[in-house]
Structure 1
């Protein structure tokens, strides 16, 4: 079952118009959210990121789009799909049909989809740099729009080259993120992650990991510019997203990494997931 503007429909009964602006222009944003034991994990963070993104893209936020309303709609859809224990939710918001580049209205429609999670953290995880196209820096790149072409091409490249993921770079050749999440690099006691100015998604788990590390006096956290060369020189590398939490990287080119620090942070993150509102 799919939730379309508050109505639960069978997928085959959901009719999206050929004039849909998300389809025609990528005029759409989304949140990927984990459900654990009938709880929306880190829901407040997802909600406020969604609201900020809608404002940035000049979408009209409905009065009913409160924190409580959307949480209720998500859990209603989860319950209908019998996936309350562990599942992935995609909340998609798109401007209503009509217009060319200039929309007829800034009012929105939304969908909520629910799927089971079958992802398991891998013991061996190989990455490399995707160099064919850039993920351009700038504030718009930090928003989760439906325009994920670079991510798609990087994922295809990874599959063709027996990799688990690819590092995306910007026009300055700086590291941005990986195809499905943010990236952290540890060298000695300094943990670096690309700053938002580099064009990375303003990840929810990225934010949580930054909070965890910043409270540890044994490590220095830097949101900064990272070169691909720094990855090769790192002691550890791990990636983050809302579903997997933390995935340690074991191999980059010919370099092998330890995973102790990433696994330690993963345990702290799990505690936050259990206790989040």
Structure 2
């Protein structure tokens, strides 16, 4: 069952050829993790979505309150008989127009899929990455939004599959490492944890925000938001990817460099405790 503008339907062909998200990528999305019918970090997701809609000059409906959208998401999960779910909420400008839309009004689709575990689990498998250098992430504001313009991520995923990689690292025009294909990155050297700043063009990730907030309160670690060069990766002790669905995914290999996973394990335990305590 999908939720299209508040109406539940088993029809997954609701998008027509005039859809602006399809034609021009004129859309945004939020990927949510729902555990026991509770949306994790919902306030952060909601305000990021509202901010992104304003940046893209979309008209925010009067009924798009935090409570309304939460109810629509939970209604969709209930209709699919899920308890723990991965949810995608896609917002797109209404049909009509060419590059110039006829209206800034929006529509939405909510989809839900079952999740196996209520808590984040640390992967024990080998996870190998390399740089994807065919195209660059721009440092501008649009790169920080979760829009449907993800062609670099698609091409990077194809490259990863062709080269037997588990993920790729994206770089900006300054050749700084910005993020992974599916999440933000954190590099560990001793007790210093570094992550690229938003101004480098990385996604304004929700779990990135949660980890930064958590690390600032932990005396054993020092957090730095600073550009990361490919050369730094070779000298790091640990390197990991973060996103709301997977939590923390340790990278175990970058070219000939092998990484440990001790800090990722420690932070994931603290993150799960933070979730339990609400």
Are positions 1:74 and 2:73 aligned together?
yes
Are the equivalent residues in 2 in contact too, given 1:177–1:183 (CA < 8 A)?
yes
* TM-superposition CA deviations, 1:73-126 (whole Å, max 9, x none): 000000000111x21000000000011111100000000000123586432111
C-alpha RMSD of the superposition: 1.2
Q: Among 176, 179, 182, which residue is 1:177 paired with?
A: 179
How does the TM-score come out when normalised to structure 2? Answer: 0.96
Deviation at residue 11 of structure 1 after TM alignment: 2.8
- Which structure 2 segments of 5+ residues have no match? none
Measure how far apart 1:168 and its partner are. Answer: 0.3
Aligned to 2:109: 111
Rounded Cα–Cα distance in structure 1 between residues aligned with 2:37 and 2:65: 19
Q: How does 1:236-251 map to 2 (within 5 A)?
A: 236-251=238-253
3-state secondary structure, aligned to 1:74: helix
SS in 2 for 1:180: coil
Q: Separation in 1 of the partners of 2:116 and 2:38?
A: 18
The SS at the match of 1:166 is strand
Match of 1:153 in 2: 155
Q: Give runs of ≥4 in structure 1 deviating > 2 Å.
A: 117-122, 272-276
Aligned equivalent of 2:91 = 93
Contact 2:122 2:268 in 1 (8 A): no
Q: Contact 2:122/2:265 (CA < 8 Å) preserved in 1?
A: no
Task: Mark the runs of 5 or more structure 1 residues left unpaired by the alignment.
Answer: none
In structure 2, what is the Cα distance between the partners aligned to 1:270 and 1:236? 20
Q: 1:178 to 1:21 in 2, by over 3 A?
A: same
SS at match of 2:241: strand
Partner SS state of residue 132, structure 1 = strand
Give 1:214 deviation, angstroms.
Answer: 1.0
**1:30–1:90: 8 Å Cα contact kept in structure 2?**
yes
Contact 1:42 1:273 in 2 (8 A): no
Matched-pair contact (CA < 8 Å) for 2:241–2:251: yes
Superposition TM-score, scaled by structure 1 size: 0.96
